[in-house]
Amino acid sequence: MCGRIGDESPYKCHECNIAYHVDCVWNLWKVKQPSEVNHPYHSLHPLKLFKGQPPDYSDGKCRLCGSQIDDGLFYHCSSCNFSLDMRCVLYPPPQSLVDLKAHDHQLTLLPRLDSFTCNACSLKGDRSPYVCFQCGFIIHQDCLTLPRIININRHDHRVSRTSVLGVVNSVCGVCRKKVDWTCGGYACQKCPGYVVATRKDVWNGKELEGVPEEIEDTEPYVVIDDNTIQHCSHKEHYLRLKGNGLLWEENKGCNACFHPISLQSFYGCMDCDFFLHKNWAESPRRKWHMLHNEWLTLVTSESTCFSCDACHRMSNGFMYQHGDKKFDARCSSISEPFVHPSHPHHPLYYIPRNKIEIFSGCNEWVTYVLRCIEDGCEFVLGFKCATLPQVVKHRVDDHPLSLCYGEEG
Taking CA atoms, 200 is separated from 29, 132, 404, in Å, by 35, 24, 38
Q: What is the pLDDT of residue 409?
A: 39
Q: What is the pLDDT of residue 28?
A: 63
Give bridge partners of residue 185 from the DSSP assignment: 162
d(C-alpha 164, C-alpha 137), whole Å: 11
d(C-alpha 29, C-alpha 2), whole Å: 14
d(C-alpha 329, C-alpha 321), whole Å: 11
Q: What is the pLDDT of residue 111?
A: 92
Q: What is the pLDDT of residue 248?
A: 57
3 state SS of 385: helix
Q: What is the mean pLDDT of each run of 10 residues along the chain (409 residues)?
A: 63 78 66 81 91 87 88 86 87 88 89 87 87 90 87 89 66 79 76 79 85 81 90 90 62 80 81 88 90 91 82 89 92 91 90 66 76 86 87 76 71
Q: What is the pLDDT of residue 231?
A: 92
| CATH of 96-144 given 3.30.60, 2.30.29, 1.10.260, 3.40.630 | 3.30.60
CATH 3.30.60 spans which residues of the chain? Answer: 96-144
Q: What is the pLDDT of residue 95?
A: 92
3 state SS of 25: helix
Contacts of 344 (CB under 8 A, 6+ apart): none
Taking CA atoms, 359 is separated from 290, 331, 365, 386, in Å, by 18, 16, 7, 11
Q: Are 109 and 96 in contact (CB under 8 A)?
A: yes
Q: How far apart are the first and last CA of the chain?
A: 82
Taking CA atoms, 344 is separated from 333, 338, 347, 363, 384, in Å, by 19, 10, 7, 19, 18
Nearest to 182 by CA among 134, 117, 105: 117
d(C-alpha 175, C-alpha 325), whole Å: 23
